[in-house]
Structure 1
Amino acid sequence: MSRSIQTLFDLSGRTALVTGGSRGLGLQMAQALGEAGAKVMLTARKADELEEATATLQAQGIDARWVAADCAREDDIHRLVRETLQRLGDVDILVNNAGAAWGAPAEEHPLDAWDKVMNLNVRGYFILSQLIGRESMIARRRGSIINVASIAGLGGNPPDMRTVAYNTSKGAVINFTRALAAEWGRYGIRVNAICPGFFPSKMTRGTLQAMGEQRLAAAAPLNRLGDDEDLKGTVVLFASDAGKHITGQWLAVDGGVSAVIGG
């Protein structure tokens, strides 16, 4: 007999690690996973923001902890994995969300800024996925890895946005998702990507100011930007047994922008 929809979406007894989890989209996804029953480990660079975010989740009855780490640094990633496994046990759900952006014309883009974006947005995702897979998921033949890409990874942006490094990195994340899903499916590990559209956040503040919130909202068929609950359903779908036959896929959560631009 098939399970109920409530059972399929239930994450009780599972553990999630969410990078960039102290605010914005990362905190929203961590909250959703916790509301579905998972224990949650948050990580980001700033301890004070992590402490505040963890307290917020705990006040809602979510079993949440934190570890400060820079996911652009290989030694920090190793420490993050070590501490997470020691404190919470095996990781069932990994959300690769920490990210960086840089705005500059392509002909003037600093190489160190390009490397900064690539190191966090691509290399960091790979190293953390490799370690969690090797140390926790492969032997148990189960796990869900959720990579946060962007609709910016589906193509170019308007010329005045000038985010060539960010777009390139997020395109790489989408294909990394496909490649890892194809390779690790034999271990029972699912790998999927979420491609958010425009959500107000610290990272998008410059873009929103440059292009205007009203203009960006008007470009979406739903005529609005993303809000503080629009990623919750998608992340729980990919993390839970409700999505157990979904792997190697990306889903745009963008108010329909990708449908207009042909993503």
Structure 2
Amino acid sequence: MAQRAAIVTGASSGIGLEIARMLGEEGYALTLAARRPEKLTAAADGLRAKGLEVQEVAAALSKEEAVKAVVAAHEQRYGRLDLLVNNAGVGIGAPVAEIETKRLDMQLDVNVRSLVLFYRECVGLLRAAAAEHRGALVVNTASISGKRGQPWLSVYSATKAAVVGFTEAMNKELATEGIRSTALCPAFVDTPMTDFAKAGGVAAEAMITTRDIAEAVRMLLKLSPACLVPEIIFERPGDPL
């Protein structure tokens, strides 16, 4: 059995993959989950090539049964869960008069519903880890737009505000048991998800890096059980408040 184990969703690229890489460096056995099997397997193979302990579970995380399958596969392989990274997310921009119901539901299901389901399905394993070392952790990828709602990205902003709010609620509910939660709220990060901003003139080199995000999570791993960080806001120099 691994001494530490983590689930990372949305792990086939970008922030999720970088956090997974960092966790592997820290000795965590990993279950990676994402929607596209080929892309996920390529990401997992890349980590395994570095000698990391990794399994992947391709799953449409908007579906309840898929969430249950990821957690069941993780428990069967590793038997423990010390860290849950709810990183899977989708953002689809549109002015309010043109919001499509299908795309509205997709963002609600992936960005909010799956996060709630992962907490529900993982809380037993997290409680077991917390009873052992009081250092169980859940990291939820939100967004700066969850703190400051953005036009055109209104639905995405609303879902990420929900992530921040749910994180706060989970700390009030679980932190005294040794399960702490942190919401990550970055501005533009250099990932495929921000290609629209690059096309609009924001240079990739002017964006936050995925390594910046992963290093913040590494810091969270080092904190004492007495220290709770409910959220981390990542801004770019010159960004309007």
Question: Do these two structures clear the TM 0.5 threshold for a shared fold by scoring above it?
Answer: yes
Deviation of the 1:19 alpha carbon? 0.0
1:249 matched to which residue of 2?
A: 230
The 5 A counterparts of 1:1-263 are: 13-134=3-124, 136-141=125-130, 142=134, 143-157=136-150, 159=151, 162-209=152-199, 211-214=200-203, 224-238=206-220, 240-242=221-223, 244-247=225-228, 249-256=230-237, 260-261=240-241
Percent of matched pairs sharing the same residue: 32
Contact persistence 2:188–2:207 (CA under 8 A):
yes
Contact persistence 2:80–2:129 (CA under 8 A):
no
SS at match of 2:223: helix
2:232 alignment partner AA: L
1:252 alignment partner AA: I
SS at match of 1:229: helix
What is the distance in 2 between the residues matched to 1:196 and 1:99?
13
Contact persistence 2:10–2:89 (CA under 8 A):
yes
Deviation of the 1:41 alpha carbon? 1.1
SS at match of 1:204: helix
Distance 1:237 1:248, change over 3 A: closer
SS at match of 2:211: coil
Question: What RMSD over aligned residues (CA atoms) do the two structures have, in Å?
Answer: 1.8
Unpaired runs of 5+ residues, structure 2, are: none
Contact persistence 2:189–2:208 (CA under 8 A):
yes
Unpaired runs of 5+ residues, structure 1, are: 1-11, 218-222
Contact persistence 1:179–1:248 (CA under 8 A):
no
Deviation of the 1:257 alpha carbon? 5.9
What is the distance in 1 between the residues matched to 2:227 and 2:238?
23
Q: How many aligned positions are there?
A: 236
What is the distance in 1 between the residues matched to 2:238 and 2:102?
31
Contact persistence 1:177–1:248 (CA under 8 A):
no
Deviation of the 1:241 alpha carbon? 3.8
What is the distance in 2 between the residues matched to 1:243 and 1:257?
33
Residue by residue over 1:146-197, the C-alpha shift from the partner in whole angstroms, topping out at 9 and shown as x without a partner, is 000010111122x4xx011100000110111001111011321001111121
Residue by residue over 1:12-43, the C-alpha shift from the partner in whole angstroms, topping out at 9 and shown as x without a partner, is 82101000001111000101111111111111
TM-score by length of 1: 0.84
Contact persistence 2:15–2:214 (CA under 8 A):
no
TM-score by length of 2: 0.91
2:184 alignment partner AA: I
Deviation of the 1:140 alpha carbon? 4.2
Deviation of the 1:224 alpha carbon? 1.9
1:235 alignment partner AA: V
What is the distance in 2 between the residues matched to 1:199 and 1:168?
19
Contact persistence 2:82–2:129 (CA under 8 A):
no
What is the distance in 2 between the residues matched to 1:251 and 1:88?
29
